[in-house]
Structure 1
Amino acid sequence: MFLLKLIQAWRSTAFGVYGYLNFTRSGFLEHAKNFNREDMERRIDGKNCIVTGANSGIGYATAHGLALRGATVYMICRNKERGEDAVSKIQSSTGNQNVYLEVCDLSSVRDIKSFSSRFKEKDIPIHVLVNNAGLLENTRVTTSEGYELNFAVNVLGTYGMTELMLPLVEKSQPDARVITVSSGGMYNSPLTTDLQFNSGIFNGVEQYARNKRVQVALTEKWAEKYGDKGIGFYVMHPGWAETPGVATSLPSFSKSFEGKLRTSDEGADTVIWLALQPKEKLVSGGFYFDRAEVSKHLPLAATKSYHDAIAIDSIVDTLNSFM
């Protein structure tokens, strides 16, 4: 028990120091000195892109950035009114009218299946699927389908959307790609098969970190499983960005770092970069931050030993049973 507490204390300290130096806006500006401007000048006219959780924050910035470069963008939002407003703003600011709203609640397997069925009728290739929708709910909330809410959106929603849309993603090979927005918070958590936090006292922040670690593991699994289908799978984290979600879920953190957090555009930068780069320059299954592949584990944080094929396969089996 003492050793576990010591590891957890070190993990938290290492994450805090590393995050403060790298995840804040000053970290982005420092890393941006090495960015290649030409990387973001590529046009993707005629490419079809789906962005989940697209009406605000990083999702909105991602949808805007893709539309600005000529893509046809399908914005998946839970709220119809906010979604319509976001679509209108992007159409107006980019001049790209090929931006559409798709209403879907990512916390509901039924809703995801219904959306997938409707969308497949379009029979169009999806060149880029961005799994951005995310949630940090601090108290335990159970969905109407019986799932813990954070898990339902962050893990089951991401998994269901990806698996169900893969037939359309495969149509766009060899340029097909799936990009999942994780969080640097996952550095604080080892991979666990306790997906719905059934053991111990529920902690929303810890559950969010667990969920985001699972997203990294799922990306590895998808890259391994579907590598021969011409689809690239990438996961990234945006750093600490000032978004409506962060302000609502982590008010103390947001206030403490006021003026130091990244903008939504800076948080979305690597998502857009991953969507634009030639696939031969990217590593499928890789974890990206500020336009570079980075380690999935902090030194001496004792998370790597849990990140094995047995645990990942067990998680996938569980998710499949829910689908």
Structure 2
Amino acid sequence: MQLQGKTALVTGANSGLGKALATALAARGARVLMLCRSAERGAAARQDIVAATGNDRVELLVCNLGRQADVRATAAALNSRGEPLHGLVNNAGTAFAEHGYTADGVERTLAVNLLGPFLLTNLLLDRLRAGAAAGDGARIVNVGTKIDTAMDFSDLSWERRKYRMMGAYGESKLGLIHFTRELARRLDGSGVTVNCAFPGVFMSNLGGTDGAQNWALKLFGKAFGWALPKPEQAAERVLYLLESDDVAGVSGAYFGNRKPIAAPAQADDPAANAELWRHAAELSGLDAAGG
């Protein structure tokens, strides 16, 4: 898909992979919608991107993905414009050292990493269908991770089990693969595709200022960060799914470096994908049947 003149939304766009993606999209001539939780950090990142690319068609949308009211308000504002959306990258992700809940009563990692993207995407589907109808199709890319795990659908908010930061993170990211596959099934024939990307291991700020990396991750980053790829390199894997003709029409796949990779076994089960959708719809107040 030719990105020049197209509109793409990137979540978590003020730093790391999200900022690298927003910068690359702006450099390609796209109109970029940066969805960021912090107005201050988002504005600073926007200024950097415009200065680096010379493209001033970069807009900041302030939204906390962990607050469903924020997500609904942002989607409503975008829908009211009636403009097409050609690309959506659900990039934002976090991890919390301590168990906690959002104002919506949902475990925080699940809320930000899965339910926020699930709700935002569903509420913007008409904009994406409009983008697809404009000619070139529209593409959704969910940014996942590579952790071999399985979701416990009976305890998504870690109320029964002992909370583990990386366990909660891994399950929430596996949920994105389940979501990707079920959404691909539902969008079949619409001109809108959805795939999941594993961007590889790279220098990131997982957890940001509100989340918290554990001490081992922080120590590794300080000692060996020089050896890890930069976010700009990781962004190429995501951009491939957004723009390459090689994946035009491909939907429901899990990609590594420009080729499909194996997902955790649970994500290969259509019944599990449908179950995740039902739980996510219930927790985010959507109609499970209609999406």
TM-score by length of 2: 0.89
* Residues 84-123 of structure 1 deviation map (CA, whole Å, 9 limit, x = unaligned): 0101110010000100100110001111001111111121
Q: 2:151 aligns with which of 184, 188, 191?
A: 191
- The 5 Å alignment of 1:34-73 reads 44-73=3-32
Check the 8 A contact 2:93/2:207 in 1, yes or no: no
Q: Which residue of 1 aligns with 2:281?
A: 320
Task: Determine whether 1:278 maps to 2:253.
Answer: no
Aligned mates of 2:162, 2:62 — CA distance in 1: 34
Count of aligned pairs between the two proteins: 274
Q: Which residue of 1 aligns with 2:53?
A: 94
Aligned mates of 2:14, 2:225 — CA distance in 1: 23
Q: CA deviation at 1:281?
A: 4.6
Q: CA deviation at 1:250?
A: 3.9
Q: 1:181 aligns with which of 143, 149, 153?
A: 143
Check the 8 A contact 2:107/2:157 in 1, yes or no: yes
* Residues 258-286 of structure 1 deviation map (CA, whole Å, 9 limit, x = unaligned): 32322111121111111111265562111
The higher radius of gyration belongs to 1
* Residues 218-254 of structure 1 deviation map (CA, whole Å, 9 limit, x = unaligned): 1010111111211110101111111122685144224
Q: Which residue of 2 aligns with 1:218?
A: 179
Aligned mates of 1:168, 1:279 — CA distance in 2: 24
Structure 1 gap segments, 5+ residues each? 1-41, 298-303
Check the 8 A contact 1:240/1:261 in 2, yes or no: yes
Aligned mates of 1:78, 1:280 — CA distance in 2: 31
Q: CA deviation at 1:314?
A: 2.0
Q: Which residue of 1 aligns with 2:41?
A: 82
Q: Which residue of 2 aligns with 1:104?
A: 63
TM-score by length of 1: 0.81
- The verdict on how the C-alpha distance between 1:254 and 1:184 changes in structure 2, with shifts beyond 3 A counting, is farther
Q: 2:213 aligns with which of 238, 249, 253?
A: 249
Q: CA deviation at 1:308?
A: 2.0
Deviation above 6 Å: which 4+ runs of structure 1? none
The residue type equivalent to 1:243 in the other structure is S
- The verdict on how the C-alpha distance between 1:306 and 1:82 changes in structure 2, with shifts beyond 3 A counting, is closer
Check the 8 A contact 2:6/2:86 in 1, yes or no: yes
- The 5 Å alignment of 1:271-310 reads 271-278=238-245, 280-281=247-248, 283-297=250-264, 304=265, 307-310=268-271
- The verdict on how the C-alpha distance between 1:90 and 1:56 changes in structure 2, with shifts beyond 3 A counting, is same
In structure 2, the residue corresponding to 1:171 is in which secondary structure?
helix
Task: Determine whether 1:238 maps to 2:186.
Answer: no
The residue type equivalent to 2:217 in the other structure is F
Task: Determine whether 1:262 maps to 2:229.
Answer: yes
Task: Determine whether 1:200 maps to 2:140.
Answer: no
The residue type equivalent to 1:274 in the other structure is L
In structure 1, the residue corresponding to 2:118 is in which secondary structure?
helix
Q: CA deviation at 1:43?
A: 5.2
- The verdict on how the C-alpha distance between 1:254 and 1:283 changes in structure 2, with shifts beyond 3 A counting, is farther
Q: CA deviation at 1:306?
A: 7.0
Check the 8 A contact 1:48/1:71 in 2, yes or no: yes
Aligned mates of 1:47, 1:230 — CA distance in 2: 15
